[in-house]
Structure 1
Amino acid sequence: MTTRYEITAGFVPLLDSALLVVAKEKGFAEQNEIDLSLMRERSWASIRDRLAVSHFNVAHILAPMPIACNLGLSAPAPEMIVPMALGLGGNAVTVSADLWQSIAGHGANADLDARNNGIALRRVIERRQEGPLRLGVVHPFSGHNYELRYWLAASGIDPDRDVEIVVLPPPDMGDALAERIIDGYCAGEPWNSFGVLKRGAHLATVKAAIWKSSPEKVLGVNARWAEAHPEALSALIVALDEASRWCAQPENHLELAEVLAKPAYVGRDKELLLPAITGNLPIGGGETRSVNDFFVPHAKAATFPWKSHALWFYTQMVRWGQVRHSAPLQQIAAETYRPDIYRAALNARGVAMPSASSKVEGALMKETPVGSSGALSLGPDGFFDGSLFDPDAIEAYIAAQAAK
């Protein structure tokens, strides 16, 4: 097939780059007339910078980063849009064996329960004598940073006073833990499995327990390129939708791990990738746990760019002092995510998708069919502390968080 569109995409070697990798490797890009070039980067700052100078047209990127760029918080930066998400979940909080032993001694269980294990961590911190624990995240404008902070704060731990949060590239997390540079970290896969299987670490909890059905990586697109190449972007969304369906099929899980394990992509043994793909996670001490919806590439509108997700990230930027709240900045955050482009690309193909662009996050306690066709289910999407985020009540939410 003759290609009509040439698209260059950046990615960081993580499991959730899967949709871009599979679109190229399994021919979905080519079938949609795209010559897709993938360029591997080690850090999120490099992804941002190369988007800014148009080395990339699009990228696998942290879900909050395009918002931060558009708010002027992360420079140099392009104006970005997010016309598609790249899946739900996929992160965990990993701690050293010593810290886990202390947490377990104060009531933590191996079930990865966010509430119980957060309380146990607070008890350890309250009794700690040798200075604050140091916890790693991959970037200040990352889901990892915000979900870790949310978990800590809702557990009675002040993320800015009771612990020290530092930034490290994902591939360095496990080694930094083994060298006692950090005591724990929140990262994507395969770096939690690497920490457990190769560096003797233990999982404390997972993203799917902190905020169920929560966003992680998205397709970040240089806004100028998107405006100039709408047909190419639409074709890419179609190809990635097809890739998401392929990734979701259990019979493809082993092949997906093998493809991602190639040196050009994640470059780690498939045995480090399979646990997260299947949801059967090594948690430490030779034990495994099955985690429902640990990484969701397609079901539950996993690729839909909800404006309510964008606005929740914005509230966390406000909460942690990265930006001052204002109505114009809130609007910029909301307009970064573009479900209109997603719908325009996929409507004609009969893809089941939400009719709304926002929802109350945390309102669904169980998986719930939506729409008249029943072809789409959403949720559960609850926060572990039982709170709700209503995108139509931003100021009240920000005020309530400031009061905690």
Structure 2
Amino acid sequence: MTADCRITVGFLPLLDSALLIAAREKGFAEAEGIDLVLVRENSWASVRDRLAVGHFAAAHMLAPMPIAFNLGLAPLATPTIAPMALGLGGNAVTVSGRLWAAMREVGASHDLDPAINGAALRQVIASRQGTEKLRFAVVHPHSGHNYELRYWLAACGIDPQRDTDIVIVPPPLMPDALAAGRIDGYCVGEPWNSASVFHGTGRIVTTKSKIWRSSPEKVLGVSAEWADANPESLGMLLRALYRAAQWCGEAANHAELAAILARPGYVGCDVEWLMPALSGQLLNGDGGVIAVDDFFVPLARAATFPWRSHALWFYSQMARWGQIEASKAGEHIARETYRPDLYRAALGPLGVALPGANAKVEGSLVKATPVGSAGASLVLGPDGFFDGGVFDPDQIARYLSLS
């Protein structure tokens, strides 16, 4: 089939760009009649700016970024929507060998338990009173990484604003920044955690999927103007990405997927850096592995559905950490940024599992649970926060008062 619709999409070299890359490389985009042009960038600011000036129709994007754009929190941004998520999980927190040794002395464990390792980190920070703060890096102020790191620290009794310094570093530079001693730890997507483990300069201490199970990470961010002008093309793109998610979700395809992602024009890394996250077998740094079977979820648990409750959780964190002042108008903007209506319109004809609602109480499912759906059957969860927290998207003011 000859593609007759060209769509240019920006991405960063990360594991969770997999759906876009597989859509191009495995022919799912071409089968929809799309000439999918992927442009690699090295920072989220570049993705933001190139979307704003019309170089990209869409982008692999941090899940909170479209919300931040629409709230006016970015200096150069265009109105942006998120009609699809690009998977669940995919991040981890990595610390330097020196910090890991100090944490081990006060009880940190290899099993990535966020409560145990957070308690150990709190003791290390307490022992450093009067010395320079530990410095952690995240990829962008409006990122899941920033919010999940802060959530983890705060839940473990560490004030992220008083007890640590949090700085911004592009994902591919984080392992080098850690090795050079410029930072003490970081929260980033794969393969940049495993890179430090392979180099022997860092240790993974917990993961996004352990801080908040079944939690969102990247979305397809789309120029609202382009989406309005090209509804058929957008539907074609969503269908191609969904089929790519089906392919990426099959364990039998993971070795091939890793080989594709490792190419210089995509993630550009050693293949073995990608396999731990894809296989759910993370390296512990001592020659062993830790099983984290839900580290990155491309398809299961409605992984590509743009839940409005996810958007509102990110909004709540923006308010919690002083990036915005909470308001009903802000809630409305956040809610309307995620577009499950467009997802349903594009994918309903394929008979895929479509949730019966557009939002849910986050953290309420303690086990895998069948839920009402249109099309195929659907199982959600578990989706709990490690500290037992629950987020009701209809009770944001109350949630913030208790945070």
8 Å contact kept, 1:202–1:285: no
8 Å contact kept, 1:173–1:191: yes
Taking structure 2 as the reference length, the TM-score comes to 0.98
Instruction: State the alpha-carbon separation in 2 of the partners of residues 334 and 199 from structure 1.
Output: 42
Choose the corresponding residue for 2:393, options 379, 391, 394: 391
Taking structure 1 as the reference length, the TM-score comes to 0.98
Task: Report the CA distance between 1:376 and its aligned residue.
Answer: 1.1
Listed as ranges, the matches of 1:114-193 within 5 Å are 114-129=114-129, 130-193=131-194
Listed as ranges, the matches of 1:5-404 within 5 Å are 5-129=5-129, 130-371=131-372, 375-401=377-403
Instruction: State the alpha-carbon separation in 2 of the partners of residues 361 and 92 from structure 1.
Output: 20
Quick one: which amino acid aligns to residue 189 of structure 1?
A: E
Instruction: State the alpha-carbon separation in 1 of the partners of residues 199 and 354 from structure 2.
Output: 40
Task: Report the CA distance between 1:4 and its aligned residue.
Answer: 3.1
Identity %: 62
Number of aligned residues? 401
The C-alpha deviation readout for 1:2-29, integer Å capped at 9, x for no partner, is 3232100000000000000000000000
Q: Which runs of 5+ in 1 are unaligned?
A: none
SS of residue in 2 equivalent to 1:365? coil
The C-alpha deviation readout for 1:168-218, integer Å capped at 9, x for no partner, is 001111111111100000000000000111142111100000000000010
Quick one: which amino acid aligns to residue 77 of structure 2?
A: A
Task: Report the CA distance between 1:286 and its aligned residue.
Answer: 2.2
Instruction: State the alpha-carbon separation in 2 of the partners of residues 251 and 259 from structure 1.
Output: 14
Task: Report the CA distance between 1:283 and its aligned residue.
Answer: 2.3
8 Å contact kept, 1:86–1:302: yes
Quick one: which amino acid aligns to residue 145 of structure 1?
A: N
SS of residue in 1 equivalent to 2:366? coil
Quick one: which amino acid aligns to residue 125 of structure 2?
A: I
Instruction: State the alpha-carbon separation in 1 of the partners of residues 50 and 123 from structure 2.
Output: 43
8 Å contact kept, 1:80–1:336: yes
Greater mean deviation of Cα atoms: 278-287 or 83-92? 278-287
8 Å contact kept, 1:175–1:199: no
Instruction: State the alpha-carbon separation in 2 of the partners of residues 344 and 55 from structure 1.
Output: 26
Instruction: State the alpha-carbon separation in 1 of the partners of residues 357 and 83 from structure 2.
Output: 15
Task: Report the CA distance between 1:355 and its aligned residue.
Answer: 1.1
Task: Report the CA distance between 1:107 and its aligned residue.
Answer: 1.1
Task: Report the CA distance between 1:375 and its aligned residue.
Answer: 1.8
Structure 1 segments (4+ residues) deviating >3 Å? none
SS of residue in 2 equivalent to 1:284? coil
SS of residue in 2 equivalent to 1:46? helix
Instruction: State the alpha-carbon separation in 2 of the partners of residues 366 and 269 from structure 1.
Output: 35
The C-alpha deviation readout for 1:252-296, integer Å capped at 9, x for no partner, is 000000000111100101100111111111122222111020000
8 Å contact kept, 2:200–2:285: no
Instruction: State the alpha-carbon separation in 2 of the partners of residues 21 and 246 from structure 1.
Output: 11
Quick one: which amino acid aligns to residue 20 of structure 1?
A: L
Instruction: State the alpha-carbon separation in 2 of the partners of residues 347 and 353 from structure 1.
Output: 7
Greater mean deviation of Cα atoms: 277-286 or 160-169? 277-286
Instruction: State the alpha-carbon separation in 2 of the partners of residues 342 and 199 from structure 1.
Output: 42
Instruction: State the alpha-carbon separation in 2 of the partners of residues 356 and 68 from structure 1.
Output: 24
Instruction: State the alpha-carbon separation in 2 of the partners of residues 283 and 397 from structure 1.
Output: 35
Quick one: which amino acid aligns to residue 78 of structure 1?
A: T
Task: Report the CA distance between 1:374 and its aligned residue.
Answer: 7.0
Quick one: which amino acid aligns to residue 74 of structure 2?
A: S
Task: Report the CA distance between 1:353 and its aligned residue.
Answer: 1.6
SS of residue in 2 equivalent to 1:256? helix
8 Å contact kept, 1:178–1:199: no
Task: Report the CA distance between 1:126 and its aligned residue.
Answer: 0.6
